[in-house]
Amino acid sequence: MSKVLIKNIGTLQTPVGSYAHKGAEQGENLVLKNAAILIDKGIITEIISGDGANIKFRVEEEQKEADSVIDADGHLVTPGLVESHTHMIFGGYRQHELPKKLRGATYLDILREGGGINDTVRATRASSFEELYEKTSKFLDEVSSFGVTTCEIKSGYGLDFDTEVKCLEVLKKLNQEHPLDVVSTFMGAHALPPEFKGNIDEGKPDDKEGFFRLMNEKLLPYIAEHDLADFVDIFIEEEVFSVEEGRAYLEKAKELGYDIKVHADEIKSIGGTELAGEMKAKSAEHLIVADSKGIEALAKGGTVAVCLPGTSFYLGSTFAPVREMIEKEVPVAIATDFNPGSCPCLNLQLMMNLAILKYKMLPEEILTAVTVNAAAALNMENIVGTVEVGKQADLAIWSIDDFNMACYRYGSNLVKKTIKKGELI
């Protein structure tokens, strides 16, 4: 099936241009009424719009030529959504943390006690390739039902050679076999695993050097050689990894040819955002407690700010200073952060509602944040993220008539059909 016609689009709304949109441009979308899209071999070849008789005739003629026709029923069509930050590959769940949280334990308290990420590491190490493949594949099916057509997934619940490689191999296979494009990020530096942890009672310090030897001398080179990841990320946070450790590690990753991402300023501000800007990271992610200095560094480094309102919501923390980022010309993307600890939610539409209410973003800014800016955070902006001729035909057909409604109604899935490379999924 090569020629596809999407007809009867009431409103087509999309950012324009294959680059990260910042400042005022973040809020600029093209809005076309009464449109149709022609697709050939998964690529958009023409966008027709208007309501004159000759346009109607043209669409009828195209319908005769098309191998398949998809009816948008007069509703809204946008680019397929781009999910730019998840930790979607893991064993087990962590619902047992909830009572602890209700008794007042914080995210870092639970991590310190050997729970949190450590718990998920145990469950992930115990999971087989097939189990991880099945579980992640179902998550991808679920995100695609919300209109997502490209999805980033970070490793980081293995933290040893075999499990990190296993997870990245699962992601590679999913990218080949699942309809969604899967972008994989190696996040072996997510937490210090138990085998490198010290013991205060025995006076034994953490062996961070040993851990980074494993990362730098074994894992990074192996992953580069076997082409198992698109990006490298590290969690820079108090009690996890310091700015100095991050800098040395990310330099090594860059030497091996990786683009880098940084988990920065999620809980305590220790300088991760500044480092991301300084090292020209492709993206800095979380940024809940980023300050003006950090934001200025991102602007200077051309780094995309990937903001994750679902995590603030779930951790009960403050929300990233997105208005200041937009004012200071930092391109902003929004993602879920889907993971078993700090955001067990994979509904990107819900993040759009939170972005309106908590980040005070405008609907047009939000559409840019979940499409082309998210694509730019993944080096995919030339392929996906806008509805333009030459782009991959990744689209969301909504059950509503305008994008404001998508930011206003919350809790329901407002996407009716998801189209990947011109085909319904």
Give the footprint of ligand NIG on this chain (CB under 6 A): 87, 116-117, 120, 235, 263, 266, 311, 337, 339-342
- Closest to ligand NIG by CB, 337 vs 365, is 337
Residue 120 CB, shortest distance to ligand NIG, in Å, is 5
| Partner from ligand NIG, Fe ion, none binding residue 266, C-beta < 5-8 Å depending on class | ligand NIG
Return the bridge partners of 204, or none. Answer: 199
Residue 76 CB, shortest distance to Fe ion, in Å, is 29
- Closest to Fe ion by CB, 274 vs 337, is 337
- The residues of the shown chain that bind Fe ion, judged by CB under 5 A, are 337
- Closest to Fe ion by CB, 39 vs 168, is 168
The residue of the chain with the least Cβ separation from ligand NIG equals: 341
| Partner from Fe ion, ligand NIG, none binding residue 340, C-beta < 5-8 Å depending on class | ligand NIG
| Partner from Fe ion, ligand NIG, none binding residue 185, C-beta < 5-8 Å depending on class | none
- Closest to ligand NIG by CB, 29 vs 342, is 342
Residue 351 CB, shortest distance to ligand NIG, in Å, is 14
Burial class (CB in 10 A: 0-12, 13-18, 19+), 204: exposed
* CA distance linking residue 94 with residue 275, whole number of Å: 31
- Closest to ligand NIG by CB, 7 vs 263, is 263
| Partner from Fe ion, ligand NIG, none binding residue 117, C-beta < 5-8 Å depending on class | ligand NIG
| Partner from Fe ion, ligand NIG, none binding residue 120, C-beta < 5-8 Å depending on class | ligand NIG
Residue 337 CB, shortest distance to Fe ion, in Å, is 4
- Closest to ligand NIG by CB, 164 vs 381, is 164
